[in-house]
A and B are shown apart, each in its own frame.
Chain A
Amino acid sequence: MEQEKVIQIRDLKVYYKQYRKNIFGKKRRHQVLKGVSIDVFEGEILGLAGESGCGKSTLAKAIVGMNKDIEGEINLKYSDTQMVFQDPYSSLNPSKKIGWLLEEPLRVDKERKWTPKERKEKVLEIMKAIGLPKEMLERYPSQLSGGQRQRVSIGVALMRSPKVIIADEPVSALDVTIQAQILQLLQQLNRDLGITILFISHDLRVIYQICNHVAIMKHGEIKEYGIPYEVYRNPQNDYTKELLTAAGIK
């Protein structure tokens, strides 16, 4: 069965502004992505692996429209794509209560108006989905543990029932046992709600555990793409081999 593509990227180039070295210097553009092409299929979890500075976060930001200076094509099947960030300590506004944070996506929803009652109902539904007790709605982010906060950030992303979620290193800042729980939650959302997840991580083990496909990035290019089992077993690219060795897999 040919699966539908929810994200289709063709020859994407992203540039960052580089500051002038001195007042007479030229403003230079620094190319971060050098022609990336990739497809994300409906209902899958795609792992995007690579080390810091390889451009994986840049790719994510380009998809959700946070990078403006781009060339190439990005076709999205669904307009509403939400993101979950790495650091649950900075992705939740410290001055707002959990309930407020969860309601906010509905308050600013351009598609439809939500009545306060509908908002409350949806919040309770999501709290159930992310496995947090509803007493926590009255708490501030600082009163939650790292794992609970990351659940809340996932909840915030889920509020408008998006079909695609981009998770940028969502478990890197967490303890291993908590990591396992969050991964389980993501898998469950993928399975039960059919949400497509673009999962960005530097950890090849984690990617192996939950992803249907993996793309290995280095210096703004995709070096290798495939099913994790096959890529890990028989890596074609030198860099992939190096990563696998470093992670103690091969």
Chain B
Amino acid sequence: MGNVILDVADLHIEFHDHDKPETVVEDFDLMLEEGEIVGIVGESGSGKSMSALAIAGLLKRHALTKKGRIMFNGTDLLTCSRKELRSYQGDEISMIFQEPMTSLNPVKKIGWQVEESLRIHHKDIDKKERKRRAIEMLTAVGMHDPEKLYEKYPHELSGGMRQRVMIAAAMIGEPRILIADEPTTALDVTIQAQIVELLRKMNREKGTAIIFISHDLSLIRQICKRVIVMQSGNIVETGYVEDIFRHPKMSYTRKLIAAIPQIDLS
């Protein structure tokens, strides 16, 4: 532990599709250690998803400028070749999204989608082995009857199950970093709790570092040790979640904490 696997420094992202260039992320820094869970919290437009997309290498390359560096495995993901970036995407660094309804391809079977990253990154693994791993993964994310599920289509599953499938697909290559962008926002509370528990289990068992993005500070508190608070493209505050809850330094953080409805049952 204590091994830094991802080092983001001075990240700037600027959009150019409106009249004036618009800075969406400014001076973003993040040191991710092996096996830790870091939260990024902020409201819509705070730049939290943009930073995550930049780390995942998913920002479109036109109409924007990027500055700074994202060091992973000794390569700068911002400046490396497309080919090199692709060799990390989905394998070493993978991502899950908010909307499980749209992030699965409706015309492909569940098994196919879970296997996809193996098919791309590990061409040496044969079909039988791929299927074995996919089923193992589906079991690991808590699906009953994975053999049957393997042959199903996304529309036959509920929202929570789809999000589990997404996690299985993201985790099959045993990535070192998993970026979860509001993975529970579209789900019901009881399902939410299950997905959070599943992510924690993945972190514990496989040692995957997780960047957990959410607008919900109370959820961040449940899962993360460290948190980065963002507002309109800037990092407002960063530190251990418990410290921030107890002694928020910035007024914006205080406002976020105050917005969580307090429940005192004593």
**A–B interface present (Cβ within 8 A):** yes
Chain B nearest Cβ from A217, distance in angstroms: 12
Contacting residues, chain B, for A245 (C-beta < 8 A): 193
Task: Tell me, in angstroms, the Cα distance from A250 to B263 when the chains sit together.
Answer: 10
Known: A229-B265, A248-B218, A248-B222. A176 touches B260 (CB 8 A): yes
Interface size on B, residues (CB 8 A): 22
B253 shortest CB reach to chain A, Å = 11
From B63-71, B113-121, B184-192, the one touching the partner chain is B184-192
If A243-B189, A246-B190 touch, whether A177 touches B259 (CB-CB below 8 Å) is: yes
Which of A73-81, A117-125, A131-139, A200-208 sits within the interface? A200-208
- What chain A residues lie within 8 Å of B263 (beta carbons)? 205, 208, 232, 249
A-B residue pair count with CB separations less than 8 angstroms? 58
What per-residue 1/0 map shows which CB atoms of B235-266 lie under 8 Å from chain A?
A: 00000000000000000000110111111010
B258: chain A residues at CB < 8 Å are 180
Taking CB atoms, residues of chain B closer than 8 Å to A249 are 263, 265
Tell me if B176 counts as interface (CB < 8 A to partner A).
no
Closest CB in chain A relative to B262 CB, distance in Å: 8
A180 lies within 8 A of B193 (CB): no
Taking a contact as CB atoms under 8 Å apart, the answer to whether A176 and B259 are in contact is: yes
User: Could you tell me if B188 and A51 are in contact, using CB atoms closer than 8 angstroms?
Assistant: yes
Give, as a whole number of angstroms, the nearest-CB distance from A129 to chain B: 22
* A30 contacts partner chain B, Cβ-Cβ < 8 Å: no
Interface presence of B12 (CB below 8 A): no
A177 touches B43 (CB 8 A): yes
**Interchain nearest-CB distance for B252 vs A (Å):** 9
CA distance A248 to B222 in the complex (A): 8
**Bound-complex Cα distance A202 to B192 (A):** 12
Number of interface residues of A (CB under 8 A): 27
Interface check B87, CB cutoff 8 A: no
- Nearest A residue to B186 via CB reads A52
Question: Is A233 an interface residue, CB under 8 A from the partner?
Answer: yes
Residues of A within 8 A of B259 (CB): 176-177, 179-180
Q: Does A38 contact B (CB under 8 A)?
A: no
Q: Mark B166-197, 1 if CB is under 8 A from A, else 0.
A: 00000000000000000000001111110000
Picked from A146, A176, A178, A247, the residue with its CB within 8 Å of the CB of B217 is A176
Pair A177/B256 contact, Cβ less than 8 Å:
yes
Query: From DSSP, what is the main secondary structure of chain A's interface residues?
Result: helix
- What is the bound-complex CA distance between A175 and B230, given in angstroms? 13
- Expressed in whole angstroms, the Cα–Cα distance for A239 and B60 within the complex equals 45
User: Are B193 and A176 in contact, CB atoms less than 8 angstroms apart?
Assistant: no
* A118-159 interface bits toward B, Cβ cutoff 8 Å, 1 = contact, 0 = none: 000000000000000000000000000010000000000000
Mark out the residues of chain B between 121 and 144 whose CB falls within 8 Å of any chain A CB in the assembled complex: none
Q: How many angstroms between the C-alpha atoms of A162 and B27 in the bound complex?
A: 50
A176 CA to B254 CA, complexed, in Å: 12
Q: A176-B43, A243-B189, A246-B192 are in contact. Are A232 and B265 (CB under 8 A)?
A: yes
Is A93 located at the chain interface by the 8 A CB criterion?
no
* Residues in B lying within 8 Å of A, measured CB to CB: 43-44, 188-193, 215-218, 222, 255-256, 258-263, 265
Beyond the given pairs A202-B189, A203-B261, 5 more chain A to chain B contacts, judged by CB atoms under 8 angstroms and listed by A's residue number, are A177-B256, A209-B261, A246-B190, A246-B193, A249-B263
| A-B contacts, 27 listed (Cβ < 8 Å) | A51-B190, A51-B191, A175-B44, A176-B43, A176-B215, A176-B216, A176-B217, A176-B259, A176-B260, A177-B259, A178-B43, A202-B188, A203-B189, A205-B260, A205-B261, A206-B261, A208-B261, A229-B265, A232-B263, A243-B190, A246-B189, A246-B192, A247-B193, A248-B193, A248-B222, A249-B263, A250-B265
